[in-house]
Amino acid sequence: MSGFKLRRLAMLMEPEPGNPQEIEGVLNPAAARGPDGELYVFPRLVARGNYSRIGIARVRFNETGDPAGVERLGIALEPEADYERQPDGGGGCEDPRIAFVEPLQRYMMTYTALSPRGPRIAMAISKDLFHWQRLGLATFADSPQIVVLEPINLSLSRRKCFVPVMHFFRGSAEVV
């Protein structure tokens, strides 16, 4: 036994009363430290009809250093691209995950884009966590060969970044 104990402190963020963008929930956040050293969360904000956006909020800490709440800063992504929108006006940008990619000096976000074809994995990139550029839907190789790393060029510089490639083999996913 490690002696590690988990202690629930409080609810960090819940739907804001009267906010129509959060009427059906605030859930599944990503978290990342910004270039300013602050901690930010990126929750899924669910409006009426399951219309989802990805919000951004700065985490506020109390005098003992524990998270005590958030300051809502707006929307990081909302359904705009065809692969994020439904014909009936619905759609969604949901369930983000964010990592800082050192060689690119950029934040990469993967998120679920809800489109007429169903939920799909989409990607976006940012220098500062506040301004996101969509990169489109993730594509997966359908190949029996194993590729460990592939270079990608995101038109950000003359450098290429090597990233893991995910392949599907007979119905299962494998990250190599």
d(CA 176, CA 174): 6
Q: How many CA atoms lie within 13 A of 118 on its CB side?
A: 0
Write out pLDDT tens, residues 4-15: 888 887 788 999
**CATH-assigned architecture of domain 20-139:** 5 Propeller (2.115)
Give 123-172 pLDDT, tens digit per residue. Answer: 999 999 999 999 999 876 555 544 333 444 454 444 444 444 443 333 44
Q: Where along the chain do its domains lie?
A: 20-139, 140-176
Residue 54 scores a pLDDT above 50:
yes
Q: What is the pLDDT of residue 87?
A: 85
Strands 92-101 and 106-115: antiparallel
DSSP state, residue 171: T
Say which residue the tokens 């940008």 belong to. Answer: 93
When pLDDT is averaged across residues 35-57 and rounded to a whole number, the result is 96
- pLDDT value for 134: 95
Q: Which two tokens stand for residue 86?
A: 């439904």
69 has pLDDT over 60: yes
Residue 174: HSE in the Cβ half-sphere, 13 Å Cα cutoff: 14
What tokens were used for 65?
Answer: 């250093």
Share of the chain above pLDDT 90, in %: 61
Q: What is the pTM assigned to this prediction?
A: 0.78
Strand stretches in the chain, DSSP E: 25-33, 39-47, 51-61, 67-77, 92-101, 106-115, 118-126, 133-137, 149-152, 161-164, 166-169, 172-175
